[in-house]
Amino acid sequence: MSEPEKPSPGGDANRRDFFNEVASVALGIAGLGAAVVTYRFLSPNVLFEPSPTFRAGNPDLFPVNSMTYLQDQQVYIVRTKEGFYAVSAVCTHLGCITQWKPEADQIACPCHGSKFRPDGTKIEGPAPRPLPHFAITLTAEGELMVDKLEVVKPSQILKV
């Protein structure tokens, strides 16, 4: 018969106790990781975007025959002698942000070369459609309100 293991003097742990402790720590780490992954899965993944309806300001801020780019909304506010309209600054080809080129009187896509007139009509390039126009109205306080959810005909102009 074999003798049972006797604890070594000085309180040293034997090999079995060591591996039991390593296994317990490994299972604890794995359980904690599983809890973190489960929490991340169950928590909502929300994307906060700016409101599609926004105030562009007082009409007096926009001189006649001007094209104003609103960077945070990616919209051009155009004022002509007839009135106001809002044109998207997002190219209809691959979603690049266009740039207003006053020397050429064009809106140009710097990525793929599409060119548009100030009213959003396509001149050349790979863009399949003209730039969309958004609904623009005047609030009770006298400010311009643009609704990017409502696409309107290019002929629709807000007369002020």
Q: How many residues does the chain have?
A: 160
pLDDT one-digit tens code per residue, 119-138: 888 988 898 999 999 999 98
Give all domains of the chain, ordered by start, each with its CATH number: 53-152 (2.102.10.10)
Query: Which residues on neighbouring strands pair with residue 107, listed in sequence order?
Result: 100, 116
Query: The tokens 């074999």 sit on which residue?
Result: 2
Q: Report the distance separating Cα 11 and Cα 156, nearest Å.
A: 89
Query: With contact defined as beta carbons under 8 Å apart, do 141 and 123 qualify?
Result: no
Q: Report the distance separating Cα 92 and Cα 121, nearest Å.
A: 11
Please report how many Cα atoms fall inside a 13 Å half-sphere around the Cα of residue 99, on the Cβ side: 8
A 10 A CB-CB count for 23 gives 10
Q: What are phi and psi of 134, to 5 degrees?
A: -105, 155
What pLDDT is attached to residue 12? 62
Burial class of residue 85 (count of CB atoms within 10 Å of its CB; 0-12, 13-18, 19+): buried
10-residue mean pLDDT series, the chain (160 residues): 56 80 95 94 82 87 89 90 91 88 89 88 89 91 90 84
